[in-house]
Each structure stands twice: as structure tokens, then as C-alpha cells.
A and B are shown apart, each in its own frame.
Chain A
Amino acid sequence: MNNIKLLFFATLRDRAGTKSMDLEIPEDLTIQGLKDKLARDFPNLAQSMSSVIVTINREYAFDEAVVPPSAEIALFPPVSGG
């Protein structure tokens, strides 16, 4: 198993009800697999998973990427700084 850290920002944090959580996931799970798991385990997040932006260790990541060991994964909506 792979122990990862999840970070949530903006609307994702509101829906998750937390800024961060530790999660145990299967090895070789992809980002798409992680999104599917989060949608199942946390129904409040399900509607966000189709449009969420995901990063792995502070770099933008895409559905086919495999979550590396002990990764820091962040989930957030399109950015709105400035």
C-alpha cells in the first residue's frame, strides 16, 4: 500500500470539510483511479472530480499518471489569483 497526503483548496476544501488528510491507496493507482476512489469514499467530492485540477508533488498531473510512493497530492479548482 501507498500512504499519501491529500491537500484540498478553495471549493474542494469546502466540500471535503478539511484542508488535508492522509490516505492509504493501492500501489500503482493512477490519478483517475484516485479520483474514482475519492468520489466513492467521499460523496461530497463526487461532483467535483470531473473538473478538478490535480498535482503530484507540486507539479500538475493528469489522469493516466501513477501516484508515486508517499506523494503529496493536491486537488483544487482552476486558479483565480491576481
Chain B
Amino acid sequence: MQSELPTIYSITEDEIDLDALLAAITLESTGAAAIFTGMVRGVTRRDDPHETVYLEYESYVPMAEAKMKQVADEIRAKWPVIEGIAIVQRIGRLYPKTPTVLIACTAAHRDTGVFDAARYGIDRLKEIVPVWKKEVGPNGEEWVEGDYIPKPGE
């Protein structure tokens, strides 16, 4: 049964098509979807205020897609009621307001943990999926580095 549940994971240079992804993870029994999408923020006010002209994303694609599948497997282990999962990271040069990442989880009802599942998905993607971004601003460019060091078995 579980093997028939739709799981989509990909690194892409194409625009993220929310409608198509949502349709692909909606079953007859689905009544709720929690969707997180992140976009390029042109003006940052928190922490270190700055402006962003664009972000340049790159990925170790085959490993990234394998780790996205691992994140989906972890979601299903923690929330067995989840029906469909889509995890998509866009790479390349992306300008402010452009969606860069999408995590969507579907379930029969909204009170099933579906919000937590999507939240877990984006948090784990930012920990273990090998993608990096270089921030280009008005005064130069700088690689953004995360702070998570994977543990054995991750």
C-alpha cells in the first residue's frame, strides 16, 4: 500500500509548478495539504540587514535527490498517515520573489500532523540535502553556509 503513495523529489532548474505538484500528491482520500515554499528575499531586515540582488544555487544533484528521498522516508516513518509528499529544490540563478523550494505533504484531514510533517521536511532539507547558495548583493557576493554537521547514518 505504502509503496503506491506518491512521493516526488527533485532538483530542478525549472520553475516550481505548485498546481502540478499538488495535483500529483492528491489522492481520492486526501482532504488536506500543508505546503511550505521559500522564496528569494530581496530585503532582509532581521539579524544582519542587507539587500539581495540574486541567489546562485548549486547542488550535488544525485546525492541531493537521494537525501530528499531519505527526508520523505523519515516523514512517513514519523507520520504514517501522510499520503503524498513533494520535495522540490530549484537551483541556478534566482531573483527576489522567486520560489526556490517547495515541501508539500497531504493527508486525509488537517489534524493529522500534516503541518508538522511539512515543517520537518523543510528543516531536514536544510540539514542534510547537499545544496548551497551564493548570495549576490549590491556590494559583492558571499557563499551562505549552514551550521549543521551531519551525524553518522544521516
Chain A interface residues toward B at CB < 8 A: 7, 9-11, 14, 53, 55, 58, 60, 62, 74, 76-82
A82 touches B126 (CB 8 A): yes
- In whole angstroms, how far apart are the Cα atoms of A76 and B134 in the complex? 13
What chain B residues lie within 8 Å of A53 (beta carbons)? 149-150
Total contacting residues, chain B, CB less than 8 A: 34
Residue from A9, A55, A74, A78 in contact with B58 in the complex, judged by beta carbons closer than 8 Å: A9
Contact digits for B8-52, partner A, Cβ 8 Å, 1 yes 0 no: 000000000000000000000000000000100000000000000
Task: Tell whether, in the assembled complex, residue A11 and residue B63 are in contact, meaning their CB atoms are under 8 Å apart.
Answer: no
Q: Is B57 located at the chain interface by the 8 A CB criterion?
A: yes
Query: At the interface, yes or no: B4 with Cβ under 8 Å from chain A?
Result: no
Among A14, A55, A77, A81, point to the contact of B89 (Cβ < 8 A): A81
**Docked-complex contact A81 and B150, CB < 8 angstroms:** no
